[in-house]
Structure formats: structure tokens, C-alpha cells
Amino acid sequence: MTVPALEADALGKRFGRRAWALRDCSFRLPAGRVCAVVGPNGAGKSTLLALAAGLLAPTEGTVRVLGAHPATARPRVGFVSQDKPLYPQLTVAETLRMGADLNPGHWDADTAHRAVAGGDLDPGRRIRALSGGQRTRVALALALGKRPELLLLDEPMADLDPLARHELMGLLMGEAAAHGTTVVMSSHVVAELEDSCDHLLLVGGGQVRLSGAIDDLLAAHTRVTAPAGADLAPHEVVESRTTGRQLSAVIRPSGPLPDDWRAHTPSLEELVLSYLRNPAAPAPAPAPEILEAAV
């Protein structure tokens, strides 16, 4: 079994004396996945990514990145934070040259230039003169040029118009597929990630609510419509609602369903929302492939 790209064990982070931003997070992300970190604003997504990037020290628990301490793994990890910090006084070309100088021995100028070229960017323009989307493009180029084994992206597409988002996502996925890069990207817009990700990490209220391959998670859940008053036991209920004479629910079936229930596979968005709307919903047992990875 290969080393997991990201592995958290009872991970927690508290800022000062304030409430916990993240607590008791345990999950395991196999290498080579494209993982969506989904959750509402303030759920702890950014904290989780910063911990993985070795920019923050955990208050409790551990996080292992590519099998190593985050600080040790840092040269092999790319990171783009939510506000896409860049030096405003440098030009686009200078920023890329800086990337080459700061990453000696593992800088891929072609990839970096390709990421920038798609945006019709004048290399001589200063970063401070760029739009939000253009800055995102340069920040991504810096992260991709480093040719990381693990790429951590915090809300990477937030500033992009749909066209640029599609184009950059394509570039990102192409690079990830070509080099076997593990990608972890956060968003509070599920639809943004649905097409490109094969793994889900749902964060809510500072906790990991769901973690696993998206296909497995969807297969493990069923959206049912049943007559009002139907008994949902023994299935595990994530969410149930009664409207008029109808009951609709998202459940994890633990056996065959009655014939008079209409059942179908939920969409990813439905699944995510059902968990977010119901903080008390029980977390499923780890999917089999994750248990396998743990061996």
C-alpha cells in the first residue's frame, strides 16, 4: 500500500483562547486522488489546509503529509491560500522567475508558463495591476511550477469567471493526471467540484462529517420517498422530512427497502446538504477502501 497523501489523527487547532476551529479530525486521503474539501464558511476548511501545508502547528493530534511531518514535506507540497498572496510590486514574469529561484531543482517553467499563458496576461504587468482572476492564475502557476506531489488549494476558483474556471480546472486536472498529483481543494460551492473530484471530505462545525470516495459515499446513501409516517428503522437516517402525505429522507440502508418506497441515488449536493442541515446525523463507518488503506 502506498503512503497516504494526507492523514490526520485526532487533529485539532484552537486559536488563542477562542473556540476550536477544528477538533478531533481523523481521516486518510490515498495518494493520487482529487479531493474536494466541502463545508460552509468558517467550517475549518482553511485551517485544515494550512495545517497540512505546515503553515500552522496543530494544537492537538497529528497530521502527516506524504508520510512525513508537514514541515518536512513542505518542499513537495504546493499551496495556494484563499487570498492568493503575491508580491504586488513584482511583474508576472518576475514572479515566475522568483518561483524558479526559490524552488531550485524542481521547477517546471513550462507548466508555470502554460498556466499563465491561458489568461492572455502581459508578463510585464505588475501583480498589483491584475484582476482577482488573473492573480489566481499567477498563484496557481507558482504552485504548479513547483511540481508538487500534493497540491493544496483553498477556494481556488472563487475569483474566476466560468470560462476561466473551466479552463484552469482543465489545466489543473491535466497536470494532476499527468504527474499523479494528489489535489485537495476546498470550496463552499459543491457544484464547482463535483465534476473534477473523486474524493470528498465534508467539514462542518470544525469536524470531519464525511470522508471517502465520492462514488462509495453516494452508493452508501439512498434518497427515498415514502408514505408519511413510514418507519425508517433499521436504516440509519441522515435527514428526513414530511411534506403533506409524503416523507422524503436520505438514509444509509442497512437492508432491502420496502416496495412502496421510491428510492434513488442522491446527487453529491443533496448528500452534502443533508449532512450539513443535520449536525446530529451519525457519521458513517469508514468506507472499506479506507480501511484497506489503513492496513
Question: Please, which residue, 175 or 236, has the CB nearer to another protein?
Answer: 175
Q: String of b and e for 191-204 (b: at least 16 CB within 10 Å)?
A: ebbbeebebbbbbb
Least Å distance, CB 190 to another protein, is 26
Rg (CA), the chain: 21
Question: Please, which residue, 81 or 242, has the CB nearer to another protein?
Answer: 81
Question: Please, which residue, 149 or 192, has the CB nearer to another protein?
Answer: 149
Question: Please, which residue, 88 or 227, has the CB nearer to another protein?
Answer: 88
Least Å distance, CB 173 to another protein, is 17
Question: Please, which residue, 163 or 178, has the CB nearer to another protein?
Answer: 178
Reduced to 3 states (helix: H, G, I; strand: E, B; else coil), residue 294 is helix
Question: Please, which residue, 73 or 190, has the CB nearer to another protein?
Answer: 73
Least Å distance, CB 75 to another protein, is 6
Beta strands in 70-221 (DSSP E): 77-80, 150-154, 182-187, 199-204, 207-213
d(CA 75, CA 6): 15
d(CA 153, CA 186): 6
d(CA 16, CA 14): 6
Phi, psi of 219 (to 5 degrees): -65, -30
Question: Please, which residue, 116 or 281, has the CB nearer to another protein?
Answer: 116
Reduced to 3 states (helix: H, G, I; strand: E, B; else coil), residue 153 is strand
Classify residue 253 by its DSSP letter.
-
d(CA 96, CA 139): 10
Contact partners, residue 15, CB within 8 Å, separation at least 6: 21
Nearest to 291 by CA among 59, 81, 25, 1: 1
Residues making contact with another protein (CB under 8 A): 50, 53-58, 66, 69-72, 74-79, 81, 83, 85-87, 89-90, 94, 98-111, 139, 142-143, 146-147, 149, 179-180
Least Å distance, CB 192 to another protein, is 22
Question: Please, which residue, 100 or 218, has the CB nearer to another protein?
Answer: 100
Phi, psi of 277 (to 5 degrees): -75, -20
